[in-house]
Amino acid sequence: MKINLEVAKYYSFQSITSTNDFARELLADNDLVIVSALHQTKGRGRNINQWYGSYGNNIYASIGIKHKSDISTFTLAVIQAASSLAVKNTLSKLSKEDLFRIKYPNDIYALHQGNYKKISGILIEHSFAGSGCISSIIGIGINVNEKSFPPELQHTAVSLSQIGINADINQIKDDLTHNFFEL
């Protein structure tokens, strides 16, 4: 599956319900979209989980791909693996230490005070017409500058700033996009 990044249309918002939902709408008229926001009001994870994050402190982004031809189930698995690897590789370049692990299929964990905690989640949603996959949306949330989490997440979530990494959100988004399409 070869994707031409030059045809991508970029959309950036202050606040949006969900970057995945908006990417799905945009794929009606576009082949490749990248949607980001400073905040999501209804960000979600797998199953019934929601994605927590405060305004302007984290990455909330989605890559939407309209498939021009039938793709195999193997390719769908490659999209999942490439997504996880792209996030891990992007984060790993921010530290000289080996702090990040993939919890397959859709989470990235970071070492913090001797324990691994969730720093990123990936939500992939495929759309089908019959048995053929017509589009894929890769939603990525990364905790970058989050200072604190609600009580129910304090022992399981962490941000880059909490593990001592100061990073520019826009640079991470650019690196992440590049890494995903390179894979």
Neighbours of 178 (CB within 10 A): 13
pLDDT-flagged residues of the chain (< 70): 1-6, 44-52
Closest by alpha carbon to 27, among 40, 6, 9?
9
pLDDT for res 150 = 87
Q: Measure the CA–CA gap between 25 and 28, rounded to whole angstroms.
A: 6
136 within 8 A of 124, measured Cβ to Cβ:
yes
Q: Measure the CA–CA gap between 122 and 3, rounded to whole angstroms.
A: 20
Main-chain phi, psi angles of 22, to 5 degrees: -70, -35
pLDDT tens across 133-181, in order? Answer: 999 999 999 999 999 988 988 899 999 999 999 999 999 999 999 999 8
Whole-model pTM: value is: 0.92
